[in-house]
Amino acid sequence: MWDKYIKNQSIRNMEIQTIKICINCVSVLLHILSLITAIYCFFLIIHRWSFKRHHRQRVSINSITPFDDSITLLLFGNTYFILILYSTTWLSILIHTISGDFSIFESILYLKDSINCRVRIGLIYFLTSAFYHSYLLQVLRCFFKVVFHSTLNEKKLLYLPLNHMCTYILLILITWLISILILIPAVTIFDVFSYFPEQHHCMISFTNIPGFTYAILSAYIIPVVFIIYIYSRLIVFIHYTYKSNIISRATREIIIVKRILTICFILTFSGSETIFFLFQFIITDRIHPLVDRIHELGIAITAVIVTLGFAYLNAFFKSLSMRSSI
């Protein structure tokens, strides 16, 4: 009886290990797809920027085409640069998992707890925060262009004009600094990063409820709440404009509204799997043996959805490859 139990348990463990390996391989493929898409979009942005500078195009702030706006291209470039680093870092992490699963590259890769291990997951945390802040800047730019439609050149932020490139370069630097600052308590106060032997790399532990809650709030929930709030203000403004019978202006900007709900859904969905597993642990006080791999698969799926979704919504594959005739 006991031998049969041991045999069944051994078979079950082998099945679980096989499933883990399959899930990990799918995660790698998805991150590769996300990385290729992000690189493609990033170089399209550089191409468009170079084309605009070469022809010295000066486009009116009334334009609703983001690719005719150098500041919007800068903000897009910041977002896709972050996505490139994000996917690259995750691939580095998953390579350690594959190496541990198949017992390869052990002489090259250190598969135990180390400073490099914690730096990699810390970089993921930093890039996650930087991504949401980068999109927050895109939302602010959209808000400023719509609300301050006729006075954009006169309005100032941080004593700099709202329609000036230097203003947004400074804002990008500030958001990167904020992402670094919120990383410090995660490392020092909450100690959110732990080494997982079965994963062969470091992760944010579900069992560290205070630390995990801080990580989710600071890197994901708070930026998304701000983004949704600004979008809601934008919808109210456009609705008021439309009610005021300024049809031409409202019609130009109505494209923004059509994308708002989709974008908000993508941003909200992007952290849903993490929150789900957090609540699952709080309620049951148990963690499924596949939870870490499923969590990483969810992150990989989210990375693809975010990268392809934003590229599609912002018409990268259509508009950036076309030369403007302006």
Mean pLDDT of the chain: 79
Domains and CATH numbers, the chain: 2-320 (1.20.1070.10)
pLDDT over 80 at 249, yes or no: no
Question: Which pLDDT score is estimated for 286?
Answer: 62
Instruction: Tell me which DSSP letter residue 68 carries.
Output: G
C-alpha to C-alpha distance for 110 and 69, rounded to whole angstroms = 46
Average pLDDT over residues 164-169: 91
Instruction: Tell me which DSSP letter residue 67 carries.
Output: G
Question: Which pLDDT score is estimated for 31?
Answer: 95
Average pLDDT over residues 51-57: 59
pLDDT over 90 at 23, yes or no: no
Higher pLDDT, 242 or 87: 87
The structure tokens listed for 221 are 């929930």
pLDDT over 60 at 246, yes or no: no
Question: How distant is the alpha carbon of residue 175 from its chain centre?
Answer: 14
pLDDT band at 251, cuts 50/70/90? low
Instruction: Confirm if 125 and 215 have CB atoms less than 8 A apart.
Output: yes
Instruction: Confirm if 238 and 146 have CB atoms less than 8 A apart.
Output: yes
The structure tokens listed for 233 are 């203000």
pLDDT over 60 at 322, yes or no: no
Question: Which pLDDT score is estimated for 326?
Answer: 41
pLDDT over 90 at 11, yes or no: no
pLDDT band at 36, cuts 50/70/90? very high
C-alpha to C-alpha distance for 18 and 44, rounded to whole angstroms = 39
200-228 confidence digits (pLDDT tens): 889 887 778 889 889 989 998 899 889 88
Instruction: Confirm if 29 and 304 have CB atoms less than 8 A apart.
Output: no
257-299 confidence digits (pLDDT tens): 566 667 666 666 656 666 676 666 666 666 666 777 878 888 8
Could you tell me the maximum CA-CA distance found in the chain, to the nearest angstrom? Answer: 83
CB neighbour list of residue 183: distance below 8 Å, 6 or more residues apart: 122, 125, 126, 129
Neighbours of 198 (CB within 10 A): 13
Rounded to two decimals, what is the model's pTM? 0.85
Per DSSP bridges, beta strands 156-157 and 193-196 are: unpaired
Of 95-99, 131-135, 143-147, 179-183, minimum mean pLDDT range: 143-147
pLDDT band at 170, cuts 50/70/90? very high
The structure tokens listed for 15 are 């099945």
Question: Which pLDDT score is estimated for 186?
Answer: 93
Average pLDDT over residues 51-62: 54
102-115 confidence digits (pLDDT tens): 877 777 788 888 89
Question: Which pLDDT score is estimated for 39?
Answer: 94
**Max avg pLDDT among 49-63, 184-198, 237-251, 277-291:** 184-198
The structure tokens listed for 126 are 């930093």
